[in-house]
Amino acid sequence: MRYIFVTGGVVSSLGKGIAAASIGALLQSRGFKIRIRKLEPYLNVDPGTMSPYQHGEVFVTEDGAETDLDLGHYERFTGVDTSKHDILSSGRVYFDVLTKERKGDYLGATVQIIPHVTDAIKEFLAKDTQDLDFLIVEIGGTVGDIEGLPYLEAIRQMGHELRHNVLFVHLTLVPFIPSAGELKTKPTQHSVKTLQSLGIQPNILLCRCDRIIPDDSKKKLAQFCNVPNNCVVEALDVESIYEVPLVFNEEGLTDRILEHFHLESAPGSLEKWKEIVSKVKSPKSFVKIGLVGKYVGLQDAYKSVKEALLHGGFAHDTKVEIDWIDAQDMEEKGYQQRLASLDGVLVAGGFGKRGTQGMINTLGYTRIHNIPTLGICYGMQMAVIEFARNVLNIADAKSSEWGEKGTDIIGLLTEWVKDGDVQQRSKDSDLGGTMRVGSYECHLKDDTRVKKAYGSTIIHERHRHRYEVNIDYKAQFEEKGFVFAGLSPDGKLPEIIELKDHPWFIGVQFHPELKSRPFAPAPLFKDFIRAALEHKKP
């Protein structure tokens, strides 16, 4: 087993997740088996209860872990499904260590950061690594953050213990100062010195920059940061994140990694990455998709949705332009004009009542005007409520989540399933009610668009929600052409809806975007973009 640790310095948001994912993809291209994990400094046990504005989307794994959005990058770049064993927060470490202390597992010892917390971190990294050639580990935050010190100490110890089986990659910023007219290396020097003061000497520097770094600046970085000249690697800004593996490979990053570990391999093929980049830069057509959501103020809140839309476009050599629409804007006069200009509309997930009337207005307009529409999770639930109010004439149709009087078309599973089977099909949540998180099976109805899109009768998709569509209203909906196209295996949970007499109107309770890959677009997103192309006006 070989470990590659990716740290970041100077500022956050430099792209450590993309860097780690790209390194994984490059090593895969050389025939190595890899896995990527993340160590998060925050004290939350996981990001499941964090605001989307604080931390972006919550990425859900097959086994139901609520994780950081970078795990989505890992999956999209490598095709390797992540799990609950691939992310660790400081909150989880301390929680586990203190639980052991309360049980007496430490036999009365004074519990300290070293060795108890650092040992727990190292034990986590060593789990489930059978048959791997490389474990790539991204350390969240920025070097110097007090929260991340236990992680840095743990990987320092591993570097000392495992010697040549450990490689440290440090991602840093080389900014251009317009008034001076030059790139500045000093921030990187200070960042590396901070890392060195903690006992870690980086082997490779990845230097984020918006222009080529002159050779003399590279030599200066190498000299002051104690790395070979050819281990100062440019990480230039690129048009698409899918171009990063190509840029890193051209800079010789793959060769530097293999040289460090004294490994040889045949040159890898990156043709599939070149093909994706070609589709990004030279599309044959384009469509404009409106993404209606509650958290569009931070696009990372819908990171996987955005990427899945792009993937759907790749399948048709089409550039997808996204119009980011705040759901509350769809409650104002004139919202119809904005929707009329779109080739398709996606109504995204969320929690709480804010913005729901805007979602309902949107879905009513796209239903009536035959605009291709995809509703995801909360978006599907709002489509059900809109149809109930405006077609079934259930004027007070609502979700029990809102805490108002009315007819609960949407509710907690426990509110309308009384057969004792609820806990077998849902997971407990500290926020109350039930929570379905992770992969669940869904059975598709014959002669439906979703079955044609998936090409299968049984599918497995990832969920993250607490409320369900009440199956008791199924007959009333289907009498009016509202098809329950996918159900749970026992037939009690509506998973997919579609409109019979609409060119393309589909709602799903799950999150298909989480399993989409640039080389294997999610079936629904692929078909959604196809429908948008057909709808597109000349």
Residue 187 lies in a domain: no
CATH number of the structural domain spanning residue 352: 3.40.50.880
Q: Are residues 252 and 380 in the same domain?
A: no
- Examine the domain organization and report whether 266 and 292 are in the same domain: no
Q: So which residues are the catalytic ones?
A: 377, 511, 513
Sheet containing strand 34-40, edge to edge, reads: 87-89, 34-40, 134-139, 2-8, 166-173, 204-209, 232-236
In 3D space, the residue among 372, 423, 382, 304 whose CA is nearest the CA of residue 530 turns out to be 372
Last residue of a domain, one of 248, 275, 302: 275
Q: Which residues form the domain of 16?
A: 2-173+238-275
User: Does 157 lie in the same domain as 29?
Assistant: yes
Q: Are residues 249 and 325 in the same domain?
A: no
- Whether residue 219 lies inside any domain: the answer is no
Residue 46 lies in a domain: yes
Question: Domain containing 271 — which CATH number?
Answer: 3.40.50.300
Say whether both 300 and 267 belong to one domain: no
Number of domains in the chain: 2
Task: For residues 240 and 23, give the distance between their C-alpha atoms in angstroms, rounded to a whole number.
Answer: 16
In a domain, 71, yes or no: yes
Please give the model's pTM, rounded to 2 decimal places.
0.93
| Same-domain status, 120 and 27 | yes
Report CA-CA distances (Å) from 181 to 176, 177, 237, 275, 488. 7, 6, 18, 36, 61
**Domain finish residue from 251, 275, 299:** 275
β partners of residue 324: 291
One domain for residues 252 and 300: no
Q: Which of 228, 248, 275 is the last residue of a domain?
A: 275
508 within some domain: yes
pLDDT at residue number 415: 61
CA torsion angle for 482, 485, 486, 491 (degrees, to 10)?
Answer: 70
Radius of gyration of the chain (CA): 25
| 388 and 268 both lie in a single domain | no
268 and 359 both lie in a single domain: no
Q: Are 7 and 152 in contact (CB under 8 A)?
A: yes
Establish if 501 belongs to a structural domain.
yes
Question: Residues 291, 330: one domain?
Answer: yes
Query: Is 10 part of any domain?
Result: yes
Nearest residue to 234 via CA among 252, 208, 268: 208
Helix axes 149-162, 118-126, angle to 10 degrees: 60
DSSP string spanning 398-458? EEGGG--SSEEEEEEHHHH--SS-HHHHSEE-TTSSEEEEEEEEEEEPTT-HHHHHHTSSE
pLDDT at 136: 98
135 in a structural domain: yes
Contact 137, 169 (CB under 8 A): no
Q: Find the helix packing angle between 253-260 and 16-29, rounded to 10°.
A: 70
Would you say 411 and 466 are in contact if contact means Cβ atoms under 8 Å apart? no
Give the pLDDT score at 98: 95
Q: What pLDDT does residue 435 have? A: 77
Beta-strand pair 204-209/182-183: unpaired
User: Which tokens is 198 given?
Assistant: 């903690």
Instruction: Calculate the CA 447 to chain-centre distance.
Output: 32
339 shares a domain with 254: no
Over its length of 538 residues, how does the chain's per-residue pLDDT go in tens digits?
A: 899 999 999 888 899 999 999 999 999 999 999 999 999 999 988 888 888 888 789 999 999 999 999 999 999 999 999 999 999 999 999 999 999 999 999 999 999 999 999 999 999 999 989 899 999 999 999 998 999 999 999 999 999 999 999 999 999 999 999 998 899 999 999 999 999 999 999 999 999 999 999 999 999 999 999 999 999 999 999 999 999 999 999 999 999 999 999 998 888 899 999 999 999 999 999 999 999 999 999 999 999 999 999 999 999 999 999 999 999 999 998 899 999 999 999 999 888 899 999 999 999 999 999 999 999 999 999 999 999 999 999 999 999 989 889 999 998 876 655 554 443 344 444 443 357 899 999 999 999 999 999 999 999 999 999 899 999 999 999 999 999 999 999 999 999 999 999 999 999 999 999 999 999 999 999 999 999 999 986 6
- For Cα atoms 293, 468, 476, give the angle at the middle one, nearest 5 degrees: 105
Query: Do 343 and 245 have their domain in common?
Result: no
